[in-house]
Each structure stands twice: as structure tokens, then as C-alpha cells.
Amino acid sequence: MTDWIEVCALDEVPAGGARRLHAGGTVIALIRPDSERVYALEDRCPHKGGPLSEGLVAGDRVACPLHGQCVELATGAVIAPDEGRVRSFGLRVDAGRIWLRRADLAAAPQPAPACAHGA
């Protein structure tokens, strides 16, 4: 079994933007701040759960589209004075393809089952 899972082509993630995908039971934002780099973060702001894949990418950060909370792409750390952390995933690019580290996906917490009666 390989240590990496191929998820998409690098050119499927726009430079200066993001792409959302489902892997290992988790929704992941592939965020590409420029043509050279790409990062993988859980697609959920720790403040209100906003989709980071829809946020504004600026430099080495992404801003949550709901409240503007900024997250560092390389570490998943929320920028002070806010607090928190977004789960990040090991990623590599090989021959124009993006690969995620299998162990990181396996260790990701699984979503809670939806309540059938609405809570």
C-alpha cells in the first residue's frame, strides 16, 4: 500500500484560488496561493465552520468568507488576535499531480452522523 493518495492534477486548482474535495471522510480545501505552491487544509474555519475553499487567498493566508478570520496556509494556525487551528494535510506534487499523505487522511476525525430528527 502506498503512503500517498493521488487526488487531482495541479492545474485543476487555480493559482490564487482553491478547490474543494472529499478524501478520507473529510472535506479538504486545496489552496494554491501562486503557481508554485499548494496546501491542503480541512475546509472548515474553526470559528463558525465557514468553507475556506471559498475564502480570499492573499499571500500565505486564506480568509474565511463568513467572518474574515485568517488562517496561515503552511501551518493551519489562525492569525492573532484570533485563536484556533485548522487541520492540515501532508501534500506533495509529482509530475503535475497532487498527492495527499494517506496517514493524515486516516487520522482525520470522522464527521458525526447526521441526526435523523434535526436537533
Residue 33 domain-assigned (yes or no):
yes
For the entire predicted model, the pTM comes to 0.86
CA neighbor of 66 nearest in space, from 56, 77, 78: 56
At 32-76, the pLDDT tens digits run 999 999 999 999 999 889 999 999 999 999 999 999 999 999 999
CA–centroid distance for 74 within its chain = 10
Q: Is the pLDDT of residue 114 over 80?
A: no
Residue 118 domain-assigned (yes or no):
no
- Average pLDDT value for the chain: 88
Domain encompassing residue 15: 4-107
Number of domains in the chain: 1
Residue 101 domain-assigned (yes or no):
yes
Residue type, 117: H
The grid coordinates listed for 12 are 485543476
Residue 115 domain-assigned (yes or no):
no
CA neighbor of 89 nearest in space, from 78, 73, 105, 77: 105
CA–centroid distance for 95 within its chain = 21
